[in-house]
Chains A and B, each alone.
Chain A
Amino acid sequence: MTPLLEAHDLRVSTSAGRIVVDGVDLAVEPGECVALVGESGSGKSLTARALTALLPPGLTATGRVRFEGREIQLDPRRRPRALRGGGIGLLLQDPFTMLNPTARIRVHLEETRRAHGHGRPDRAEIAERLAEVGITDARVADRYPFELSGGLRQRVALAACLAAGPRLLVADEPTTALDATTQRGVLALLRRIQRARGMGLLLITHDLRVAFSFADKLLVMYAGSIVESGPPAAVRAAPAHPYTAALFAAEPPLDHRSSTLAALPGGVPSASAVAGRCAFADRCAWREPRCTASRPLPVARAAGQLSACHRAGEIPLGPPARSGGESPARAGRRESLLVVSGLTKSFPLPGRGQGGVQALRGVDLRVHEGESLAVVGGSGSGKTTLARCVLGLERPDGGDVEIAGRPLFPRRPGVPVHRLVQCVFQDPYSSLNPRHSIGFTLKEALRQGESTESVEELLARVGLPAQHAAKRPGDLSGGQRQRVAIARAIAVRPRLLICDEPVAALDVSVQAQILEVFRSLQAGGQSLLFISHDLAVVRQVADTVTVLHRGEVVESGDTATVLDRAGHPYTRSLLAAVPTGDPRWLEETSA
């Protein structure tokens, strides 16, 4: 059988000659689902863009790509329009920016149908096409994108892709911007449609477990080249490349608290820096001299499983071993540090008149001295509003917030709130002032906390070398920036550290490193309020869990109890939304 898509020696480079994708070979059979997995900087998204001839300006692709047996052009200007969308479709990551903000949903489907030589679809056809992507409310057709939720917008975008009738769909991180529960629904839908249409699917993802559940074939990409490929079940049972094994090990498990998390030091190098040698060598525990002398070629390991490793077969790799047990026992309950009782907060919403959105409806919670509490919930559950109230950034409508025995509202003279509570935000790219050096930022924070600690000591506590003090945020990677953000928060010596999705924007291997930083803070007695939607992450850091749903606490208790014996249906749906890596994970959903 001729493959639907066959790429040979695909390369992408900048106009300055820097290589970003370094000789990728891949094939997608008709009706097959291939997952391309990699961290940021691996070149997976640029591979998708190169295949769809949509590289951003300044980047050019070379290589041989055959689609349905015929060679196709990689030059955007020479790619025939009928092939775009009709041959190969592309679904992008961010549903919030993908649709035309000034056009109704209907228009997105109409223009795509007409662009491929069909008549303008009537109302019934539009309704049918929306129903295919699980939108049963036909009125959505007359809405504008901004009136819909992220999950609905991603479904609409999928419908717009399908309207062109693609034989191959390239989906570039289609669920990364979505809520965990929405992600599962959209992935299941994508898989169902792909099977029903017999369409080829190339899924680009950073999540190894999503790829395990989703794909018929798996490609693992690192620093511009493919390091391992094979059937998901085989790779999952026995990763053949040290990078795959490390990536797998860095995924936090949902069912237990792992005693060691950080498996991968450092970050992803650029493809140019590792040309002509094993790309992973610098971070590999099994490195030998030959690893840096030449680029290893893919060699067959087991049935259909290829690994680009000089030492494939010599080194014992396997799925991550279960390590550690439950959270380390802490000395008996100490006094309460944070007490939130009956907290309510609503926001006015334009067009809704009085009332608006009720973000918090009487929330009670308690953090003891030295304890870590995780607040979990999907988007719109009120968890960020809760954090902002505790930080004193938002004034609640009712209820009390008490920190170290002092009420936060109304404001009283004395020790200011920011000396008691500090925060680490989700996005390390926007939470640091780009014009200040790291040292300046940290010194400022140390002054605030009247701390005698030095910048060097502070950096050491978050695992950064002292030289970083002279650098600016722009010189650092995302993980390093988040370490700086943590250092800045603890410099003030807060009684309570609030972390609002602190690892959600980071790659898996970096996430594991940051979680280790939090654990070392915990060991030093720091109290944490940890806001997250990811229960597997929560399992690794929290002592107790409070589940928030539509502004109400639906369940709370010890982490192990809540996650292993969830009582509330909402908690169970959050648990079910965590990718397991098992193919049944997507089958069981009804969405």
Chain B
Amino acid sequence: MRPALRLLARRLPVSALLLLAVSLAVFGLLALSPGSTERALLGPRPATAEALDAIRHRYHLDQPFLVQYGHWLGGVLRGDMGVSVQTGEPVAARIAERLSITLELGLYATLLIVLLGVPLGLLAAARRDGAADHAVSAGAVLAVSAPSFAVGVLLLYVFGVRLGWFPVFGAGEEGWDRVRHLTLPAVALALSQIALVTRQTRAAAIDVVSRDHLTFARARGLPGRVIWRRYALRNTAVPVTTSVGLVLAYAMTGAVLVEVTFSLPGVGALVMESVSNKDVPVVQGVALSAAAAVIAVNLLVDLAYLALDPRLRQAAS
């Protein structure tokens, strides 16, 4: 476990600095928002002198920018990201109430991506230039060029409206009903990413298949499942993990469009609402959380490298 600890010791401070830089940019959103900052924070409430004073006091608007930032950052570190302009609720609470849907959607989509993308890529590599490879590659080109909102509308129409197999609206109840409700959105979100991961896996596997160690494995009469699992899959794992990490980061931004298309009350939908209502504190909160999540995913990918490749373990220690 030592290489992992060394990696964390090296990377955590960097991640923290990165997050700090992002937070400064996110806080800058407020100053950049159109009109006066007080107005922006007041939202639709009547702009009485008392209300404006209270806002100024609460957000330290009479002090220099960096001091304002310092107060805001202090709040964020204590879990206080301000209050929603629209509802007056704490931002953290608004995000938390929406988070589970988005996480479930992201997890569902990621499972689809990994469980379909990787095997399809391996299949295409194994049948290189055969019918299966051509079919998979053509499908991948089609899927990668289809935008998720367009796919979403198409899926809604075909499987929701015409065939009636899946619900067309909302997130449903916890449990099986939720899975049914999230299936079409997850497919819409995952489709282009499955295509990307398939292509990555195919390229990585073709590279591995032509390597000596795979020829040597075949020469020793190892059964196909051992060759594919221990040789091909294991040695394609590093590039595939890289692309899955990128895909995870995308799944979070992609969720915005998909959640709106499928009327899912997730974080993506919250962003849309907040942007259209100029609810700057909520946008700040979501942006910061998303940045933290992307940084965390990248860190996890780097840790996964260590688990997957002994050579990288040695290089890290």
Contacts and interface: CB of A to CB of B under 8 A. Distances in A.
B213 A97 contact: yes
Contact of A111 (B210, B211, B218, B222): B222
Interface in B183-209: none
A85 B215 CA distance: 12
B176 interface: no
Contacts of B310: 101-102, 144, 146
Nearest to A97: B212
B66 interface: no
A5 to B, nearest CB: 15
Contact of B220 (A84, A97, A144, A147): A84
Interface stretch (B48-56, B137-145, B226-234): B226-234
Interface of B is mostly: helix
Given A98-B212, A101-B310, A111-B230, A82 B221 contact: yes
B311 interface: yes
For chain B, which range describes its interface: under 10, 10 to 19, 20 to 34, or 35 or more residues? 20 to 34
Given A100-B235, A101-B311, A111 B216 contact: no
A205 interface: no
B217 A100 contact: yes
Interface in B225-268: 226, 230-231, 234-235
Interface string B297-317: 000000000001111001101
A365 B155 CA distance: 77
B11 interface: no
A97 B211 contact: yes
A102 B221 contact: no
Interface string A111-130: 11001100000000000000
Contacts of A81: 221, 223
Given A100-B231, A102-B235, A157 B216 contact: yes
A92 B215 contact: yes
B219 interface: yes
Interface residues of A, number: 36
B311 A146 contact: yes
A200 interface: no
A161 B219 CA distance: 8
Interface in A76-118: 81-86, 89-90, 92, 94, 97-103, 107, 111-112, 115-116
Contact of B221 (A116, A157, A350, A351): A116
A112 B221 CA distance: 7
A111 B235 contact: no
Contacts, number: 90
B134 interface: no
B57 interface: no
A85 B219 CA distance: 6
B213 A350 contact: no
Nearest to A350: B315
Nearest to B237: A102
A98 B230 contact: no
B128 interface: yes
Interface string B150-179: 000000000000000000000000000000
A98 B216 CA distance: 6
Given A86-B221, A89-B220, A111-B222, A54 B215 contact: yes
Contacts of A175: none
B219 A99 contact: no
A60 to B, nearest CB: 15
A426 to B, nearest CB: 21
A115 B225 CA distance: 11
B216 A90 contact: yes
B219 A102 contact: no
Contacts of A161: 219-220
Interface string A337-358: 0000000000000110000000
B307 to A, nearest CB: 11
B210 to A, nearest CB: 8
A289 interface: no
Contacts of B213: 97-101
Contacts of B308: 102
Contacts of B235: 100-102
Interface in B265-317: 308-311, 314-315, 317
A160 B219 CA distance: 10
B309 A101 contact: yes
A328 interface: no
Given A52-B219, A160-B220, A164-B221, A57 B128 contact: yes
A103 B212 contact: no
A163 B219 CA distance: 12
A54 B215 CA distance: 7
Q: Which of B211, B219, B309, B311 has the most CB of A within 10 A?
A: B219
Contacts of B220: 84-85, 89, 111-112, 115, 160-161, 163-164
Ranked 4 nearest A-B pairs via Cβ: A85-B221, A84-B221, A90-B219, A85-B220
Given A115-B222, A160-B220, A351-B317, 16 more contacts: A85-B219, A85-B221, A90-B215, A90-B216, A92-B215, A92-B216, A94-B212, A97-B213, A99-B213, A100-B230, A102-B230, A102-B234, A103-B230, A111-B220, A147-B314, A350-B315
Interface of B: 128-129, 210-213, 215-223, 226, 230-231, 234-235, 308-311, 314-315, 317
19 contacts: A82-B221, A84-B219, A84-B220, A85-B220, A86-B221, A89-B220, A90-B215, A90-B216, A92-B216, A99-B213, A101-B213, A101-B309, A101-B311, A102-B309, A103-B230, A115-B226, A144-B310, A146-B310, A160-B220
